Structure 1
Amino acid sequence: MALHLYWNNEQERIPVTDEMIDQLRSLLALAGKQEGVEDGEVALTLTDDEGIHRLNKEYRGIDRPTDVLSFPQHEPGEDEPDINYDDLEEVEDLDGAEEGEDSGEAFEDEEPLGDIVISLERAQAQSEEYGHSLEREIGFLFVHGFLHLIGYDHETEEDEREMIAKQEAVLQEAGLTR
């Protein structure tokens, strides 16, 4: 068993390369190792500001685009959902995307951790604003989203410092420095 990344590209402005996806898979493995999460699946959607704006408004009631959204499969401390995976149909790929990984076979073996949505348009603007690479910004947002999926939050200054330290440790290990 391992951590698996399933992905879907719903934008056309920024090319999604094999190298980008490989980097995200590597970050998922590093973050999982750091947090003791050895198996599960993460669904990633790469979108633009319009797509993430729509989701931010619908699910959070905030009428503006954001950089990353996370949708955990279940809330921390909540009992595992009672899902009979044998009843699920095999899925060729997520949302009809030809990009995804594998077929739906992993649904039988892996616990879905949740979904991460990243606006590549917002990530590009932020990478320019912060003066670092687009790869680093996407990596930062992805690890941030993953930490939310496994129960971290940044409601207090202390929680935010902890999340940032965890994100930076993973990015440093991956060589994604500022």
Structure 2
Amino acid sequence: MLSIDFLDETDSLKEGDLQFVEKVLMHAADVEEVGNAEVSVTFVTNEMIRDINKEYRGKNEPTDVISFAMEEMGEGELEIVGTDAPRTLGDIIISLDRTKEQAADYGHSFERELGFLAVHGFLHLLGYDHMNKEDEKKMFSRQEEILSSLGITRNQHERE
């Protein structure tokens, strides 16, 4: 089972928004057969995510979602096997400002964009990426599969 720790640094999310993100991430974890795991989701402003993006990615601009995976093995690290402790997948940081902006740009609901960004960040924690066309196709089709299986569909003109 997935355990999710939410932190709303903006104090602006409604309880229903958190429940929606929890439902989406629990479903994504089931689809991906994640098992017993933990994830942290923090909601921030554009200013806060710009600072994080600048510090960790060298890009002095706001972005929509950033993921920090905890399971990536660094050089010289040993994997711990045979423990019953839940997997710590990592942190997902979502800009609510960007969520609202992109929902308006793509002509769909705030909830749809929030679900998309949560799944996008979650898949990054599991090792999915979109650095080349092949990986992008794999990741984006998995995102769509997860979202559409929950009835969360997109407009035809967005993110082709």
TM-score by length of 1: 0.79
Cα pair 2:6 2:41 within 8 Å, conserved: yes
CA gap of 1:33–1:58, structure 2 versus 1, over 3 A, is same
- Residue 36 of structure 2 is aligned to residue 39 of structure 1: yes
Residue of structure 1 equivalent to 2:102: 126
Q: Any stretches of 5+ residues in structure 1 without a counterpart?
A: 85-107
Cα pair 2:73 2:79 within 8 Å, conserved: no
Residue of structure 1 equivalent to 2:87: 111
2: distance between equivalents of 1:171 and 1:36? 16
Cα pair 1:135 1:176 within 8 Å, conserved: no
1: distance between equivalents of 2:86 and 2:15? 23
- Residue 45 of structure 2 is aligned to residue 48 of structure 1: yes
1: distance between equivalents of 2:105 and 2:25? 25
Matches within 5 A, 1:13-162: 15-75=12-72, 79-80=78-79, 109-162=85-138
2: distance between equivalents of 1:8 and 1:80? 29
Cα pair 2:28 2:119 within 8 Å, conserved: yes
2: distance between equivalents of 1:80 and 1:58? 28
Residue of structure 2 equivalent to 1:105: none
Q: Which amino acid aligns with 2:49?
A: I
* Greater shift in the superposed pair: 47-56 or 19-28: 19-28
* Greater shift in the superposed pair: 34-43 or 119-128: 34-43
3-state SS in 1 of match to 2:63: coil
Relative contact order (C-alpha < 8 Å, sep 6+): which is higher? 1
CA gap of 1:141–1:35, structure 2 versus 1, over 3 A, is same
Offset, 1:29: 1.6
Cα pair 1:76 1:151 within 8 Å, conserved: no
Q: Any stretches of 5+ residues in structure 2 without a counterpart?
A: 155-160
2: distance between equivalents of 1:79 and 1:36? 23
Residue of structure 2 equivalent to 1:6: 5
C-alpha RMSD of the superposition: 2.0
Offset, 1:71: 0.1
Q: Which amino acid aligns with 1:51?
A: M
3-state SS in 1 of match to 2:141: helix
CA gap of 1:79–1:167, structure 2 versus 1, over 3 A, is farther
